[in-house]
Homo-oligomer: A and B are copies of this chain.
Amino acid sequence: MDCRLRRGATTFGSVKTPAELTETFRANGLKVTPQRQLLFGLMHGNTVHPTAEALYAEASERMPGISLRTVYQTLTDLASMGELRLIDVGSGATRFDPNTDDHHHVVCSSCGEVRDVYVAGSDRLKVDGLDGFTVEQASILFSGTCTACAAEVDKVSRASARGEERKPTNPKERMS
């Protein structure tokens, strides 16, 4: 199937609904607690690739007192059941992704935004140096500048050309 077809789809691909996750948890002998249900809901259709801390912040609004420990616990459970992917974009904290399709990511080196990208032909890459390695998986991380940040940079450089003050930079960044 052409990956492009996925864009604009009204469903969330193979992503399970909170109700389905409830089923899955019970089927695996795990209890379904209010905390877990809340997190099922927060992750469903979530495309921002949040960190545990970010989810904890959201969860805390709806359920004051929920612990960060429980957020980590539940996310780990979901991941070990294959309902969630752990993403590392090199920004320090692990990001969680309910999209379990075969896809990759772009990260904005300015604001840290992470988006899904679908890559065609990644399995046909000519790779030299494997030297016996049995490759089971490939993950591609693109990095660059999102449209919003590009606009911002543009605005700033124009302002700078007018001799105005420079705006402060945004987040922390590492790995060339």
Contacts and interface: CB of A to CB of B under 8 A. Distances in A.
A41 interface: no
A125 interface: yes
A77 to B, nearest CB: 14
Interface string A128-146: 1111111111111111111
Interface stretch (A32-40, A65-73, A85-93): A85-93
A144 B132 CA distance: 10
A4, A124, A128, A174, most chain B CB atoms within 10 A: A128
Contacts of A141: 138-141
A57 to B, nearest CB: 23
Given A88-B88, A135-B106, A176-B85, A115 B140 contact: no
Interface of A: 3-4, 6-7, 79, 82, 85-88, 90, 94, 103, 106, 108-109, 115-122, 124-147, 150, 174-176
